[in-house]
Structure 1
Amino acid sequence: RALARRNNISGDAITKEQLRLFWEQISDESFDAKLQVFFDMVDKDEDGRVTEEEVAEIISLSASANKLSNIQKQAKEYAALIMEELDPDNAGFIMIENLEMLLLQAPNQSVRIGDSRILSQMLSQKLKPAKETNPLVRWSEKIKYFILDNWQRLWIMMLWLGICCGLFAYKFIQYKNKAAYDVMGYCVCVAKGGAETLKFNMALILLPVCRNTITWLRNKTKLGTVVPFDDNLNFHKVIASGIVVGVLLHAGAHLTCDFPRLIAADEETYEPMEKYFGDQPESYWWFVKGVEGWTGIVMVVLMAIAFTLATPWFRRNKLNLPNFLKKLTGFNAFWYSHHLFIIVYALLIVHGIKLYLTKIWYQKTTWMYLAVPILLYASERLIRAFRSSIKPVKMLKVAVYPGNVLSLHMTKPQGFKYKSGQYMFVNCRAVSPFEWHPFSITSAPGDEYLSVHIRTLGDWTRKLRTVFSEVCKPPTAGKSGLLRADGGDGNLPFPKVLIDGPYGAPAQDYKKYDVVLLVGLGIGATPMISILKDIINNMKSPDRDSDIENNNSNNNNNSKGFKTRKAYFYWVTREQGSFEWFKGIMDEVSELDDEGIIELHNYCTSVYEEGDARVALIAMLQSLQHAKNGVDVVSGTRVKSHFAKPNWRQVYKKVAVHHPGKRIGVFYCGMPGMVKELKNLALDFSRKTTTKFDFHKENF
């Protein structure tokens, strides 16, 4: 009917030529054509007039299509805003032509697309990267920049592999010259070589999780320039793979080769082994029932359980398992199964003492490998328990935001010093007395309180949200889905919370750079928010100007002054309600940042991308609301939101053009899906421009 009215066609039938015309108009992909179809559908009574009720319905439908629940709930309020703009005489309706003119006059899709293309052309002309045609040169350049970006990881990996290979070769040659070789051959050499690497890796795997030691080393020493402390968990996983290889070599060689050869050997061949094994064994059971046998089997079973439940498929419940099996997976299962290592290490020491082929105590080296790492790790756990108990915190405020995010504000313990970007562990005994979980600190070092924002993603966080939601008051101030409770008077019965930290993280190094690009995906914005607050606090500081002057005169990355001169923050989130999490800091940045030090960009990916007619009305509302009240309709802050996903290549181009010859710190926190794209772009622009991008990713 809408198309018939537009083409002045009446009656109940149309011709073939009219049908062809309709099809061309429907299939036209241009913005104006889509907008015209949209207008035809709006004017239901076909009189060319749109009432306030119809405008509200249009806004509600458009908001629903873009999954903007807050706008959908406030459709009547925004309809009144449009009527005020287009119906100053209070006639009760507006003409469809006026609505069309307002939509096209706003800084809408067609204009933005043109601006984007012009900007892209300008940036491309400024950058003008030379395109290398020789494939050998291109490959050599890629290898060169790969090495430059990963040289710390490479030398650590080479060192680790070198030690493992050296230990294996040492034991292999040693047993090749022993009497056991005449009975078991190369099998015993492989088994003992694998055992030596296994002992080394079982000792080494504890060091990457000694967080206090790592934090102290990165903060108090210069080892961070050559050691990639930020990759401690990745190295922990690499060592775990080395343990798997060691177990396969050691256990596999014993079970499939050594034991069968001992059982099958004749009396003369077996005679040199009597002093180690006694009478010749007649079956596998003899080996299994011995201390060496059952301790080895139990260790392998426990490690297999821990390794399996630590994989992403089981830790994050990605597998479609029956309900009774799902209870045995998830983060809780991973956490508790990982603590089976206490039993494993006890059995490993016993296993290393009751050796078949070694009887002299100082040749039993298992305890020598494990002594220092176990003492260091045990000391760290004792320090954590002691520190968390003597530094209690009192809850000041709790808020439950849309998107299942829990915000905890608590007192700062005396002497608790941290840097923006760091994280701490949180324990709530009302949920679990033993579990400690890491969360980025969202408050700044200059704040008088500590805060964390916790997204409900697993069983522990879900229980934590439930426990604190019971304390919160009903929704206030018209914020649907927002629960708050103020515990400043100490009268509310908040569950007891313990904290431990702070611990080092990649984002804490942002002060090393004059310019930083901060990227947060969803709840991954938390460490970046702390950085923004820290920059704001430095802007308020009366000593800021002198700090900047000192930094300009002394280009030392270790300077304690305020070094960062420009920050670009890109926050990408799927849900409109997510912007409630950090609404206060967004508004504070907009109010205080007169010099334009911080550039904020919020992206809501549930909205159709700019250029789509389905988002035209939202863009127009955004422009009207921001012009009149200074508030964005999508985020509810002073920061205007962008639609759909960012064009990251354009983001890097913009930073490269505005800061030629600079070294830019790129800090990312969020799901791993975007890491490859952001990292590859950092390498690409570092190679093609004078601007160098250092990419850092949060790992916990």
Structure 2
Amino acid sequence: MGYCLSTAKGAAETLKFNMALILLPVCRNTITWLRNNPGLNSVIPFNDNINFHKVIAGGIVIGIILHGGTHLACDFPRISGSDRSVFRQTIAANFGYQQPSYFQILSTTEVASGIAMVVLMMIAFPLATKWPRRQSPSLPRSVRKVTGYNTFWYSHHLFVPVYALLIVHSMFLFLTDNLVEKTTWMYIAIPVLLYAGERIIRAIRSGFSEVEILKVSLYPGKVLSLKLQKPKGFRHKSGMYIFIQCPQISPFEWHPFSLTCGPEDDYLSVHIKTLGDWSCQLYSLFEEAILTGLKQYPKIYIDGPYGASSQDHIKYDIVIMVGLGIGITPFISILKDIATRLKKSSINHAACGEGSLEKIPLKAYLYWVTREQSSFNWFTDVMKEIADTNQKQAVVEVFNFLTSVYQEGDARSALITIIQSLYQAKYGIDIVSRTPVSKNSIKLGVFYCGPMTLARELEKLCTKFSTKTNTIFVFHKENY
């Protein structure tokens, strides 16, 4: 059957590998555990797990085109249209010594299961892209019904029948009778069990006890702040995030939100901006409860904590954090953590004449770009705490930028000062005092949370500055 069969079989091997590999980046508990190992965390880019997941999905699409295309356009026509004498001498035994027609081949278990998998993937893959996930009010009502996070969430669970069909497909292979040669299950067994175990852990950990809501606040810009009771044994690091579920909206939907509390706080807190259908419903539920004076808030379940790129701030002596709008949330936890460690350092120094053993950055710069002045009220208490703690040591510097609207040009112009600050740091000048600093090689961590367009620009800037100076700017973007 020539190159057709070898191409199809080669593509099949890549599909087996990728179908196993694609589950690993979304095993969040495992990744959070692995990233606590400094050696692994410095070698494996755990922060890019979702991007890696998407790249593998692209590899699967290419594999499907090669595997399915060569079978449908080359292998099957050759089998059905080959000379009967050649057919009898070669592969007749695999087809019961009766030469099948093209449509008879399509109706076999192996081909039908393969086509079914492709159909399910053709539904799930497009609905997982950026545009369908963002439900815009400007879209026609008929289109809005098939967009939004709900559509992505439910369509993505088509992977369950896909993996079931994959096993069926692999058990009824053409020209392969030996069970040892049917290796698909060997590829996917461990990743499937690992992922299934993680989902079971999530159900057990979060499904049997709701979290008590201590305080609810509604801020301008339709931002909901939840202060939650910290579950027993819950430990997190600054920069981590949790998943939240509200069964009154949906018992299946879990949404990620950065923690805005410090690791040593005796409570958990999140700030939720109404950007999608689920967050709008959640805001409305709590708004109604507050306005009507209800004593009982909607039930909330949490799952986590999970590691994020922001928690890598402890690797650097100088930290630059850039948040656009609600993108400031992962950095609030970091600021509170720094404030707590500064207090400890002062106490230890006063009591023992020694500094704290806990690592404190030499400098931490926060740049917050927002469209409404009222947004600054979201974290007034935190900013005041930072200001009070920061008076003597001046470790943290906060810069606020106000733009009228979130247009690309306005947001970019608001980042001019950030770029200038980085430019000064490039030449060994302190960002604030503009005085020369040590010219020794140093790494600066640049952390960003916001729109992707500006992320690319900031990353290019970091790369540009790092190539012409001893100072290395390491860029990190928040990915959920």
* Same fold (TM > 0.5): yes
Does the 8 A contact of 1:391 with 1:413 survive in 2? no
| Equivalent position SS for 1:582 | helix
Instruction: Give distance in 2, aligned partners of 1:472 and 1:319.
Output: 26
2:376 maps to: 579
1:342 maps to: 160
1:250 maps to: 67
Task: Answer yes or no: is 1:499 the counterpart of 2:323.
Answer: no
Change (3 A) 1:346 1:532: same
- Residue 190 of structure 1, CA deviation: 0.7
Instruction: Give distance in 2, aligned partners of 1:391 and 1:224.
Output: 33
Does the 8 A contact of 1:312 with 1:318 survive in 2? no
Change (3 A) 1:543 1:256: farther
- Residue 266 of structure 1, CA deviation: 1.3
Instruction: Give distance in 2, aligned partners of 1:257 and 1:387.
Output: 51
- Residue 270 of structure 1, CA deviation: 0.8
Of 69, 81, 87, 1:264 maps to 81
Instruction: Give distance in 1, aligned partners of 2:399 and 2:143.
Output: 43
1:693 maps to: 473
Of 332, 341, 345, 1:529 maps to 332
Task: Answer yes or no: is 1:594 the counterpart of 2:420.
Answer: no
Instruction: Give distance in 1, aligned partners of 2:38 and 2:354.
Output: 26
Change (3 A) 1:644 1:687: closer
Of 202, 206, 210, 2:23 maps to 206
Paired letter, 1:388:
S
Change (3 A) 1:213 1:412: same
1:444 maps to: 262
Task: Answer yes or no: is 1:518 the counterpart of 2:321.
Answer: yes
Change (3 A) 1:221 1:510: closer
Range moving further from structure 2, 579-588 or 205-214: 579-588
2:409 maps to: none
Instruction: Give distance in 1, aligned partners of 2:171 and 2:261.
Output: 50
1:190 maps to: 7
Instruction: Give distance in 2, aligned partners of 1:280 and 1:344.
Output: 31
Paired letter, 1:198:
L
Task: Answer yes or no: is 1:540 the counterpart of 2:375.
Answer: no
Instruction: Give distance in 2, aligned partners of 1:213 and 1:440.
Output: 19
| Equivalent position SS for 1:561 | coil
| Equivalent position SS for 2:335 | helix
Change (3 A) 1:607 1:350: closer
Instruction: Give distance in 1, aligned partners of 2:347 and 2:390.
Output: 17
**Deviation string, structure 1 residues 493-536 (Cα, Å, up to 9, x no partner):** 11111111111111101112222111111111001011111111
Of 365, 368, 372, 2:183 maps to 365
Instruction: Give distance in 2, aligned partners of 1:603 and 1:294.
Output: 58
Of 106, 119, 129, 1:288 maps to 106
- Structure 2 matches for 1:355-504, cutoff 5 A? 355-390=173-208, 392-473=210-291, 492-504=295-307
Change (3 A) 1:203 1:548: farther
| Equivalent position SS for 2:168 | helix
- Structure 2 matches for 1:60-75, cutoff 5 A? none
| Equivalent position SS for 1:693 | strand
Instruction: Give distance in 2, aligned partners of 1:520 and 1:685.
Output: 21
Does the 8 A contact of 2:342 with 2:360 survive in 1? no
Instruction: Give distance in 1, aligned partners of 2:36 and 2:99.
Output: 57
Instruction: Give distance in 2, aligned partners of 1:528 and 1:233.
Output: 20
Paired letter, 1:493:
Q
Instruction: Give distance in 2, aligned partners of 1:454 and 1:281.
Output: 63
Paired letter, 1:206:
L
| Equivalent position SS for 1:332 | helix
- Residue 543 of structure 1, CA deviation: 5.1
| Equivalent position SS for 1:688 | coil
2:419 maps to: 649
Does the 8 A contact of 1:604 with 1:645 survive in 2? no
Instruction: Give distance in 2, aligned partners of 1:234 and 1:569.
Output: 26
- Residue 267 of structure 1, CA deviation: 0.9
2:464 maps to: 684
- Structure 2 matches for 1:124-273, cutoff 5 A? 184-220=1-37, 222-271=39-88, 272-273=90-91
Change (3 A) 1:332 1:462: same
Instruction: Give distance in 2, aligned partners of 1:378 and 1:674.
Output: 36
| Equivalent position SS for 2:36 | helix
Paired letter, 1:572:
V
Paired letter, 1:442:
T
Does the 8 A contact of 1:352 with 1:364 survive in 2? yes
Does the 8 A contact of 2:341 with 2:360 survive in 1? no
Does the 8 A contact of 1:424 with 1:502 survive in 2? yes
1:66 maps to: none
Instruction: Give distance in 2, aligned partners of 1:372 and 1:524.
Output: 36
- Residue 221 of structure 1, CA deviation: 5.2
Change (3 A) 1:607 1:670: closer
- Residue 540 of structure 1, CA deviation: 2.0
Does the 8 A contact of 1:603 with 1:646 survive in 2? no
- Residue 282 of structure 1, CA deviation: 4.5
Range moving further from structure 2, 308-317 or 239-248: 308-317
Instruction: Give distance in 2, aligned partners of 1:493 and 1:369.
Output: 49
- Residue 203 of structure 1, CA deviation: 0.5
Of 667, 671, 680, 2:447 maps to 667
Q: Percent identity?
A: 54
Paired letter, 1:240:
A
| Equivalent position SS for 2:289 | coil
Does the 8 A contact of 1:428 with 1:498 survive in 2? yes
TM-score by length of structure 2 reads: 0.91
Range moving further from structure 2, 365-374 or 512-521: 512-521
**Deviation string, structure 1 residues 21-46 (Cα, Å, up to 9, x no partner):** xxxxxxxxxxxxxxxxxxxxxxxxxx
- Residue 312 of structure 1, CA deviation: 1.0
Which segments of 5 or more consecutive residues in structure 1 lack a partner in the other structure? 1-183, 475-484, 486-490, 552-559, 609-642
Paired letter, 1:509:
D
**Deviation string, structure 1 residues 562-618 (Cα, Å, up to 9, x no partner):** 33122111000112221121122112222332121111111101199xxxxxxxxxx
Instruction: Give distance in 1, aligned partners of 2:264 and 2:93.
Output: 69
TM-score by length of structure 1 reads: 0.63
| Equivalent position SS for 2:364 | strand
Aligned residues: 460
- Residue 657 of structure 1, CA deviation: 0.6
Change (3 A) 1:545 1:663: farther
- Residue 645 of structure 1, CA deviation: 4.6
Instruction: Give distance in 2, aligned partners of 1:684 and 1:545.
Output: 40
Instruction: Give distance in 2, aligned partners of 1:493 and 1:284.
Output: 64
Change (3 A) 1:275 1:527: same
1:315 maps to: 133
Give the aligned CA root-mean-square deviation in angstroms.
2.2
Does the 8 A contact of 1:513 with 1:563 survive in 2? no
Instruction: Give distance in 2, aligned partners of 1:215 and 1:309.
Output: 27
Which segments of 5 or more consecutive residues in structure 2 lack a partner in the other structure? 407-412, 431-436
